[in-house]
Chains A and B, each alone.
Chain A
Amino acid sequence: MDTARTAKDNRSFMMRTDLSNPTLPGESDPLLEGRDVTFRRGDETVFGPIDFALHAGEVMLVEGDNGSGKTTLLRLLAGLLHHQEGDILLHGAPLDRLYAAGEIILLGHHLGLKFDLSPLENLRVAEGLYGRRQGTEPVTVLAGIGLAGYEHEPVRRLSAGQKKRAALARLVLIPAAIWLLDEPYANLDREGISLVNRLVEQHIHRGGAALVTSHGAVTYLNGEPRRIRLSA
């Protein structure tokens, strides 16, 4: 819990200081940092240039309208897209998708679930690929996320919200420090929304960090998260 506390101190420190200058002396290095990141598709600029610094124990919101490049930014940070301009740093070193692998996990519109497998079988695949966080177990993770009793049901028979929960269970299970959540509140009821907020809260208290996209309707409101604003 030591890490969580220092991380929180950092956050309040960041709040008091000039946010546009992320590299102040005497501050712990950000987990993930972007400097002048611009993404172009052909001649068209999708977004940027943007600067951001995501610290351990911090939630950052990515805001923007449809088509403003929120998903693109997250896919870029996940190492799925190549960035052309600016620097993306992970632990202060340039983001290389071969070495960053396992640190950053994206949950996007594609849930990455096999519909013919059960939530438990899907989790076991993720466990095999990424390993698991200390003290977690696929069955208990599923129970904690509200899928007790559905462990062995094929995912295709679950409701849209339950599928989302099955995908969120993967984030809880695997040891990735940085969560990139693309519209995590879609398809979720009020209970599901508070579940997402609770999971994110737990994650940052463990010393993790999260980048959450939203276009305003439902959003992460605990504390005062910093925001990245993208405009189309």
Chain B
Amino acid sequence: MKPGTTRAACWAILRRDLTLAWRRRGDMALPVLYALIVATLFPFALGPDNALLARIAGGVVLVIVLLAMLLAFDALFRSDIEDGSLEQWLMAPQPLALLVGMKILAHWLTTALPLIIIGPVIASMLHLPTHPLHVLELALLLATPLLSLLGAVLVALTAGTRRSGMLLALMLLPLCVPVVIFAAGAVLAAQQGLPWIAPMAWLGAALALGIILAPLACAAALRITLDS
């Protein structure tokens, strides 16, 4: 790849973030561990009622994944702002939104993808029947990138403030409610043998919109953060 092209820049950012995540794989394991612990505790708290667990399993998995992702959001742009990497991006002859998009992609790959992979494990711990499993996986594949994008916009907006973690959680809550409703709705419908394509289509539409708009919003917010 020729250095200095947009493609090379995107690849450089992606490779950088994946390398950094690999160097700190302990941090990467934290959300997965968290998800497994919460899923293990649910049957103990609710009692060994398989029918009850099976009914709530889809929603519980989605909520667990959402909360586990929240753990990793706070640090998304912080280190890049603190060590001056972001200034380098701003001065580079590449569209900032695209670079930020690559960063979000890397973040999704390192935090959400492991959660999607262990999704079926968590679901079976909660006695979710096997037939809606593929719907659950599809719902996770659409919902997690959407959450990553929404989260990234909010992280970028709160990047300049100290103790942004609380603020971030409060702001993210109303935005992730519809995502959870649609994703859990799809899984529940599949479980009951009903058509589940409509909520999934909504998730897909929101994701398409998010992929276009969220990096632009992030880039604008980060420019404002540094412009002070």
Contacts and interface: CB of A to CB of B under 8 A. Distances in A.
Interface in B9-48: 9, 11-13, 15-16, 19-20, 23-24
A97 interface: yes
A129 B24 contact: no
B226 interface: yes
Given A82-B227, A128-B3, A114 B91 contact: no
Q: Name B's interface SS.
A: helix
Nearest to B2: A131
Interface stretch (B77-85, B142-150, B159-167, B198-206): B77-85
Contacts of B227: 80-82
Contacts of B83: 110-115
B196 interface: no
Interface in B75-123: 82-85, 87-94, 99
B4 interface: yes
B12 A129 contact: yes
B8 interface: yes
A124 B1 CA distance: 12
A87 B226 CA distance: 21
A101 B6 CA distance: 13
Given A80-B227, A101-B93, A124 B85 contact: no
A31 B116 CA distance: 52
B91 A127 contact: no
Interface string A101-114: 11111101111111
A166 to B, nearest CB: 12
B34 to A, nearest CB: 23
A125 B20 contact: no
Secondary structure of the A contact surface, majority rule: loop
Interface in A188-208: none
A112 B9 contact: no
Contacts of A130: 3-4, 92-93
A115 B83 CA distance: 9
B92 A116 contact: no
Contacts of B8: 127-128, 131
Contacts of A81: 227-228
B93 A125 contact: no
B93 A116 contact: no
Contact of B90 (A97, A114, A124): A97
Nearest to A138: B3
A3 to B, nearest CB: 21
A160 to B, nearest CB: 14
Given A117-B20, A121-B19, A129-B9, A101 B91 contact: yes
B21 to A, nearest CB: 10
26 contacts: A78-B91, A79-B90, A80-B87, A82-B227, A102-B92, A104-B91, A108-B87, A109-B84, A110-B82, A110-B83, A110-B87, A113-B84, A114-B16, A117-B19, A117-B23, A121-B16, A125-B16, A127-B8, A127-B12, A129-B12, A129-B94, A131-B2, A131-B3, A131-B5, A132-B4, A175-B4
Interface of B: 2-5, 8-9, 11-13, 15-16, 19-20, 23-24, 82-85, 87-94, 99, 226-228
Interface of A: 78-82, 97, 101-106, 108-117, 121, 124-132, 154, 175
Q: Which 10 A/B pairs are nearest by Cβ-Cβ distance?
A: A131-B4, A128-B12, A110-B84, A102-B93, A112-B84, A129-B92, A101-B93, A112-B88, A116-B23, A128-B8
Given A102-B91, A105-B91, A117-B19, 6 more contacts: A97-B90, A101-B94, A111-B83, A128-B13, A131-B93, A132-B3
